[in-house]
Amino acid sequence: MARVCVIGSTNLDFTVTVPRLPRVGETVSGGELTISAGGKGANQAVAARRLGADVRFVTLLGSDPMGDRLAQSLTEAGLPPDSLLRTADAATGVALIAVDPEGRNQIAVAPGANHRLTVERVLAHAEVLDWADVVLLQLETPIETIRWALQEARGRGKTTILNPAPARVLPLPPALLPLVDYLTPNEIEAGLLTGREVQGVGDAGSAGQALIAAGVGVAAVTVGAEGVVCVRPGSRFQVAGFPVSPVDTVGAGDAFNGALATLLAAGVPIEDALLVANAAGGLTCTRRGAVEALPTRAEVIALMDRERRWPTTDW
C-alpha cells in the first residue's frame, strides 16, 4: 500500500452558501450553515486516505471542544490518532467560508493552533518520515517547520511534494525550493512565485520553467478546468481536466494534491498520477464542503470510466 505522510493544518470550517459573494462592507444573507473538518493538511490527508493510501497526518489541534470534534472526525476518516497533537496554548484553527452558486468562495482563517506546529512538536514524531514513501506539505503551518520537514524527508530519500498554498504567505525562501521534488501551485501562486502574470496554459508552462530554474524537481501548475501543466527539466506537457459542473471549489486543490501523493507513493508515472489527480479535484468541485466533498477511489474510477480516460498503470 502507498504510504503518505502529511504534515499540516486542520481547521473547523463554517461554510455559508450565499446568492453572491459580498462586496466590501456588505452583508449578504445566505442559506444553510455547514460545519465540517477542513484545513489544507486535513483535506489532503483524508483525500489520500480515500484514494487508498495508508496515511499518517501530523497536525496540531487546540485542547477545546472544536479540537475534540476534529480529532474524532479525522480518526473516523481513517487517520491514526497518535500524531493528531493537542495544545492548550492556542484555540483550534477556524475558517469562515462564503460560497456562491458558481462555486466561487471567500475564505477568512483564524489559524490558531496551526501556527504552533513547531519543529520541536513534529520532531517528536519524526519516525513517520522514515515510514513514508511521500511527504506532503502546504503553507498553513510555520515556514520553519516546513523547511525542516522537507530537509529531513530529502535526507531520508523520500519524495517531497509542496503545495504552495495559500498564496498570501508567498514568496518562499529561495533555499526552500531545491528541497521540493514536486511543486503544485495554481495560476495565482505560480505568478507570485515567479513574479509574472500567469493566465492559462502558455503562461503556466513559462512559470513552470522558471520554477525548474529555481531548483524545483517538477512543477505541476494547475490551470482550473483546463487541468494541469507539468514541467520537468527538458520537457513539458498538459493533462486536461475532466468536464464537471462545479458547485463549490473549496478543497479541489487539496483533493488534487492528496491524489498526486497517493499515486506517486504507489510508483505510478507522473502522467498517470496527474490524470487521477485531475479527476479527484474535478469531482470535489461537484459537492459542497471540504472533507465531506472528497471522493473515494471508486468514485474517481467511475468518472474516468465515464470519460473513457484511464491511467496506464493501476494503483
Question: What separation in angstroms does the CA of 47 have from each of 91, 145, 279?
Answer: 25, 22, 12
Integer CA distances (angstroms), 21 to 100, 188, 214, 290, in order? 6, 20, 37, 18
- AA identity, residue 14: F
What's the grid cell of residue 285? 468541485
| Residues 6+ away with beta carbon under 8 Å from 37 | 10, 11, 12, 13, 46, 70, 73, 74, 77, 290, 291
Question: Could you give the residue ranges of the DSSP H alpha helices within 37-123?
Answer: 40-50, 65-76, 119-123
Select from 149, 147, 120 the least CA-distant residue to 57.
149
> Would you tell me how many other CB atoms lie within 10 Å of the CB of residue 206?
18
Is 254 an annotated catalytic residue? yes
Q: Is 263 helix (H, G, I), strand (E, B) or coil?
A: helix
* Ordered strands of the 228-232 beta sheet: 84-87, 54-62, 3-7, 134-137, 159-162, 182-183, 218-222, 228-232, 235-239
Q: Which of 13, 54, 248, 254 is catalytic?
A: 254
Which residues are CB-contacts of 210 (< 8 A; sequence separation ≥ 6)? 194, 196
Please identify every residue annotated as catalytic: 254
